[in-house]
Amino acid sequence: MNVINKDYQQLQEQIQLLSDKWNQQLQEDKLTDSEQVAAITKYPALSQLQLSVDLEQYHRFIEELLLLLGETQPSLESDIKALKKNMTTEVLGQWFPEAITVNQAFFETFAENHQIASWLPYFVAEHAIRPYLQKAASEIKEELRDVDVSGGCPACGEAPRLAIINKKGKKEVTCPRCLHAWEVKKIKCAHCGSEEPGKLEIIKVEKDDSAEVHVCHECNGYTKVIDVRKKIKKESIALIDIKSIHLDFIAQENGYGVSEHSDVN
Ligand SMILES: [Zn+2]
Ligand SMILES: [Zn+2]
């Protein structure tokens, strides 16, 4: 079952290839400062850290993504041109922390001020930031291990709206932004932490025994749960998230919604 448009899915697959390449390029870098990491007391952790990021490189990532968007959507030509013109290293220095904290309003204002399609700056800023989030999250993995994580990704703050059933058969909430993952009890709400009997309801999906939606009567949150052991094709978390967008619709049609932002890009 798949309700998303074929072109959009293809674009997401191409973006995945780009981000695989970007991840490779960051492999050797160290983005976090050990002293700062040792001093973390608040979560999400990544917005508390001064990541050492090469803004020229972030710029290149965005340029590569814009090239791809331009090729696949020629109608964006003038938006892309306007964005490129206004995207200085100084501007990107402002973008970076705003993208980490998902300040969509900031990017919408930027788009408006420069007469660019309102979704475009945020879309590229977010996709190009993910390799950094993923690398930094992997560097602080140990520090995140024992954190009580009800409510959001302890690394980047993303709402816990996606989980997999992992090889051990455990429900593992996995963050599609930074790829940090943590196991939770099957009957526990990943949003509010409620374990009270009857609070978590499991919605099964017709003709697909690899997917469920766990909804919570306590906080109204939902988490898509995908049994990756039943999938023949192994896919990245980002693509699993995109391709299970019908589960978001099921949850939302039933009146459930994620607490903060519900970005499904
Ligand atoms: Zn995260
Ligand atoms: Zn809940």
Q: Do 25 and 130 belong together in one domain? A: yes
In a domain, 155, yes or no: no
226: number of Cβ within 10 Å? 23
In a domain, 152, yes or no: no
Q: Do 18 and 138 belong together in one domain? A: yes
In a domain, 182, yes or no: yes
* C-alpha span between 47 and 98 (Å, rounded): 9
In a domain, 261, yes or no: no
Q: Which residues surround ligand 1, an ion (CB under 5 A)?
A: 153, 155-156, 158, 175, 177-178, 180
In a domain, 188, yes or no: yes
The domain boundary residue, chosen from 144, 176, 210: 144
Nearest ligand, CA 215: 2
Interval 16-68: pLDDT, tens: 999 999 999 999 999 999 999 999 988 999 999 999 999 999 999 999 999 99
Interval 162-177: pLDDT, tens: 999 999 999 999 999 9
Q: Do 127 and 213 belong together in one domain? A: no
Q: Provide the pLDDT for residue 20.
A: 95
Q: Do 74 and 124 belong together in one domain? A: yes
Within 13 Å and on the Cβ side, how many CA atoms surround 101?
Answer: 11
Residue 185 C-alpha to ligand 2 middle, in angstroms?
13
Residue 253 C-alpha to ligand 1 middle, in angstroms?
25
* C-alpha span between 251 and 153 (Å, rounded): 20
Q: Do 131 and 11 belong together in one domain? A: yes
**For residue 78, is pLDDT > 90?**
yes
| Buried-exposed string 122-142: b where 16+ CB fall within 10 A, e elsewhere | bbbbbbbbbbbbbbbbbbbee
pTM, two decimals, is 0.91
* C-alpha span between 238 and 53 (Å, rounded): 23
Query: What is the domain range of residue 236?
Result: 162-253
The domain boundary residue, chosen from 116, 144, 172: 144
39: number of Cβ within 10 Å? 10
Q: Do 87 and 20 belong together in one domain? A: yes
Residue 156 C-alpha to ligand 1 middle, in angstroms?
4
Q: Do 105 and 211 belong together in one domain? A: no
Nearest ligand, CA 188: 2
Q: Do 167 and 48 belong together in one domain? A: no
249: number of Cβ within 10 Å? 13
Residue 144 C-alpha to ligand 2 middle, in angstroms?
21
Q: Do 28 and 68 belong together in one domain? A: yes
Q: Provide the pLDDT for residue 150.
A: 74
Residue 221 C-alpha to ligand 2 middle, in angstroms?
5
**For residue 262, is pLDDT > 60?**
no
The domain boundary residue, chosen from 88, 109, 144: 144
Q: Do 169 and 46 belong together in one domain? A: no
In a domain, 265, yes or no: no
Average pLDDT of the residues in 123-151 = 92
Q: Do 114 and 174 belong together in one domain? A: no
Residue 83 C-alpha to ligand 1 middle, in angstroms?
27
50: number of Cβ within 10 Å? 10
- What residues contact 236, with CB distance under 8 A and at least 6 apart? 16
In a domain, 107, yes or no: yes
Q: Provide the pLDDT for residue 1.
A: 45
Average pLDDT of the residues in 211-232 = 94
Structural domains counted in the chain: 2
Q: Do 140 and 168 belong together in one domain? A: no
In a domain, 67, yes or no: yes
Interval 182-195: pLDDT, tens: 999 999 999 999 99
